[in-house]
Structure 1
Amino acid sequence: MARVYATVDEYQAYPGALTATAQTAGLLAKASRMLERLVLRYCVYDVDTVTGLPTHPVVAAAFRDAVCAQVAWWDRIGDSSGADAVGWGSVAIGSVQLGRSVTAVSGEDAAARQLAPEVLDALNDPALVPDIFWMGAVTSC
């Protein structure tokens, strides 16, 4: 089961969050997966053996805030997939032709595929002392 680090109610309480919609729960799950892929897999913290969620309340709160920040970022930019950044080169309708340079052919460079600035603010909280959270830890067995 996928871990989701914030609920819709927690998102609603997050400063700067827009009004929750029917898609908010899905966006929170998507943001949780994105943060796991880009950041959390490189961190060390204690987890519940059943749920996989952080056991320390300060770590759990930081993850909640990071996920809420990502969803709020998507709400502000109006895109959660990166599809809006995919360019078109030229379009013609009848005798009218529009063109622009194409710098992105996939959505990977889109703002929606980047971490929101507030995500790193949440994960760099001074309360996340090394005894409970290490960011950027890479180990091998």
Structure 2
Amino acid sequence: MIIYATSAELQEWIGEATLPPKAASFLRSASLMVRTETMTAVYATDPEGMPTDPKVSAAFRDATCAQVAAWDGMGIDPSSAGVPSAAPVRSKKLGSGGVEYDTSVNSSVTAFQAKKEAANNLCAESWMILQQAGLMPGGVQRG
């Protein structure tokens, strides 16, 4: 499997000292999504399938990092299709026990659907990076 960005490149992209949990898994998932979305794009590759043009390679890297940053910022794990298995805990009690789950708008069906969509589709920034590099449908062909 081709992975378009390294952990170091992701760390530089997000500008933070620590990487998101599961960064390697997120980079793999984002690379797969970027590759799928650019399946019909025409560009030169090396024998492993990596783009050889530095501008195209940078677009793949940047789109991959932007996708991981979006998932991390929205609290989405693409391996779970973006849907948490349970509502988040709103409050806890120590004496006499008790846990209360958050069923507000953040845990609503609409929020779950939005997270599912975000887990399964390129974020706007990734799409624009690829589109401006001429790798998305309707992109500019040079040469």
TM-score range, shorter chain: 0.5 to 0.7
8 Å CA contact 1:107, 1:113 repeated in 2 = no
Shift of 1:113: 1.9
AA partner of residue 135 (structure 1): M
- Which position in structure 2 is the counterpart of 1:120? 127
Alpha-carbon distance in structure 1 between the residues aligned to 2:73 and 2:15: 9
Q: Deviations over 1:40-72 (max 9, x none)?
A: 1121111112x1100000000000000000000
| Percent pairwise identity | 38
Shift of 1:109: 4.3
- Of 63, 73, 76, which residue of structure 1 is paired with 2:73? 76
For the residue of structure 2 that corresponds to 1:73, the secondary structure is helix
8 Å CA contact 2:83, 2:112 repeated in 1 = no
RMSD: 3.2
Q: Deviations over 1:65-106 (max 9, x none)?
A: 00000000010000123113999xxxxxxxxxx989746998
TM-score (norm 1): 0.68
Aligned length: 119
8 Å CA contact 1:18, 1:75 repeated in 2 = no
Compare 62-71 and 103-112 and name the one that shifted more. 103-112
TM-score (norm 2): 0.67
Please state if 1:64 is matched with 2:61: yes
Compare 115-124 and 78-87 and name the one that shifted more. 78-87
Is there any run of 5+ residues in structure 2 with no aligned partner, and where? Answer: 88-101, 139-143
Alpha-carbon distance in structure 1 between the residues aligned to 2:86 and 2:39: 28
Change (3 A) 1:124 1:105: closer
Alpha-carbon distance in structure 2 between the residues aligned to 1:108 and 1:65: 22
- Of 37, 42, 45, which residue of structure 2 is paired with 1:44? 42
Change (3 A) 1:134 1:21: closer
